[in-house]
Each structure stands twice: as C-alpha cells, then as structure tokens.
Amino acid sequence: MNKITAAVTAVGGYVPDYVLSNEILETMVETNDEWITSRTGIKERRILKDKDKGTSFLAIKAAEDLLKKNNTDPKDIDMVIMATATPDMPVAATGVYVATQIGAVNAFSYDLVAACSSFLYGMSTAARYIESGRYKKVLLIGADKMSSIIDYEDRTTCIIFGDGAGAMLFEPNEEGYGLQDEILRSDGIGRQSLKIDAGGSLLPASAETVVNKKHYVFQDGKTVFKFAVSNMADVSEKIMNRNNLTGEDVNWLVPHQANKRIIDATSKRMNLPSEKVMMNIHKYGNTTSATLPLCIYDYEKHLKKGDNLVFASFGGGFTWGAIYLKWAYDAK
C-alpha cells in the first residue's frame, strides 16, 4: 500500500467589499502613499465595516466559496480547523460555529491560534489527521478581522493590516502529491514585541484597559522586521536544502504577506525570481491567518499538478516556519 499524504484538493477565499486605500489613510493619520508603499508594499486593504459581523462571517464566506467551487457536500467533511488571531469571542470556539453554519454537521472543529503563523501550523495539523488514515476531508480555514483590534490613530499598525479569509480542503493522496516536509519553529523571546496587552487572564478587560487602548495590537516594528527577515528566509532555505531543491526546482514561493521587503529577502535567499513569488500584499495588506490561503486563491489558475510550493510564514510570539508541498491538481 502506498504512503498516504495530505493533498490540497480545493481552495476558497473571501475579502470584504470596502477598500481602505493609502489615500484614505492619509486623511486619518500622518502618513502618505509613498511612505507606506516604499516600506511595506501595501497600496490598499479590505475592511469588514459591518460591526455586527465578526471573523466567523469571513470564514463562512470563504468556506462556502470552496464548497461551491468543488461541489463538495459539507456533510462529508470530517473536521474543520479554524486558524485565527481574532476569534468572535474568547470562549466559544469560532470554528465550531463556522462548521455548523456551513452545514459540516458531521465534523468536529476547533480554533488554532499562532498569530500570523496560524494557517501554516494548521496545514501541518491537517496533514497529520489525513496521514493517520482516520480522516478523509479536513477543511482548514484562515480568517481574521484585524480591523477589530487595530487603533486607527496608530500609524505604525493601521497601515499594515486588513480583513479577509481563505480556505483549503485536504484529502488523502497516494500518488506522492501534497505536504512533503515542514520546519516549524517558535521562540517566546518575541512575547513583548507583537502583542495585545489586555483581554486575557494576565490583564483582564476593565474600564482602564479600554481607556488606555490596551486592547489594540502593539508592534515593535524594527524588532519584528529583523526577526522576520532572518528567520523566514532561514527556514525557507533549510527546507529547500533538506529536500535537495534548487531555485529552478521550486515553482512557487507562497510567503506570508506582512511586508514586501521581508518577502523579497526570503525569495533572494531561495534564488527565486519575482515571477515565482506569490504577491498580493498590495491589494489586501496583512490579513494575518488569511494571507497564505488568499495567495493560493488568487494564483490558483497558475498552478499545475506536480508544482513544488514552499509556504513560509512569521508571526507574533514569535512563531515561524516553512512547508514544502507538491500541488495535486490543474485548475479548471
């Protein structure tokens, strides 16, 4: 019997309609389009303006898009993994609600939280369930409503983040396609560099934490940038070396969309030309857990069966890693 690997068999995505451009941000904080573009590569980002809708709304939309495109019966899904940094609420798992709403009534579900690396870690987790032979269809969703935790008076963070969702369906494969290898890392040294101070058990919500804006994202940009550049590039190069891959062998780099300069540094270490690098940061900004699946969603029509893909990410905590995956189908 051939070895079972976990292959991606379908993708879906969703971004809100409202476009927050650099020009609009110029009217909100002291910044300008040239400054933002030269330092981040971002031109615009999508924002879910409806205050009555949370991350689950984005996730449901992306999942429904996948199910419709692939003509998949949600009752056939065994489990749903929800990768997010912005769950609807602290206790009731967002993924459980999403699974119920899309009709995945036979699936069990849970949330996976690892900041911007949530989806990458989720890919590893989904693959293990498939490789066990016990589960046949695992739906992995990455979604974040980052606008819910951003201070739009803080120009260091409000220029970076956007809202969106992406989804991938993993199924067993015996032809050698799917997830081949992974290098996943973490280091608590980054705990203070990218965080939200309040709302957890260490600093519960209070009138004081709200007044002092302790529920918004804080980022030490220089420290995060330094660690992201070195670590994301390191694991991407290592996974290539471990699998005897050259820049010619890799068809696509699928990088976390946090900063164009970080992406450029990673592709340079991998000896990849720009035409082999998936890039949509200019359209969406950093959608945190949704960046990797949204890249695949946007580039799906360019992917061919057997293509070698390297996924790479870096997030708060710090968390980071790289995954080598062989693409399993030609887009219709």
Q: What residues does each domain of the chain span?
A: 5-176, 180-327
Please give the class, per CATH, of domain 5-176: alpha beta
Q: What is the pLDDT of residues 127-137, one digit of tens each?
A: 999 999 999 99
Tokens of 242: 């471990």
pLDDT at 331: 86
| 14, 65 Cβ separation under 8 angstroms | yes
pLDDT of 332 strictly over 80:
no
Q: What is the mean pLDDT of residues 12-32?
A: 97
Kindly report the pTM of this predicted structure.
0.97
Q: Which of 291, 255, 270 shows the shortest CA–CA distance to 161? A: 291
pLDDT in tens, 207-244: 999 999 999 999 998 999 999 999 999 999 999 999 99
CB 180 within 8 A of CB 240: no
pLDDT in tens, 33-45: 999 999 999 999 9
Q: Which residues are catalytic?
A: 116, 256, 286
Q: What share of the chain in percent tops pLDDT 90?
A: 98
pLDDT of residue 216: 97
Q: What is the pLDDT of residue 1?
A: 56
Same CATH fold assignment for domains 5-176 and 180-327? yes
CATH topology of domain 180-327: Peroxisomal Thiolase; Chain A, domain 1 (3.40.47)
In the predicted structure, residue 157 carries a pLDDT above the cut 60: yes
Percent of the chain with pLDDT over 70: 100
- Angle at CA of residue 115, ends 150 and 55, nearest 5°: 60
Averaged over 101-106, what is the pLDDT? 98
Those residues with Cβ within 8 angstroms of residue 91's Cβ, 6 or more apart along the chain or in another chain? none
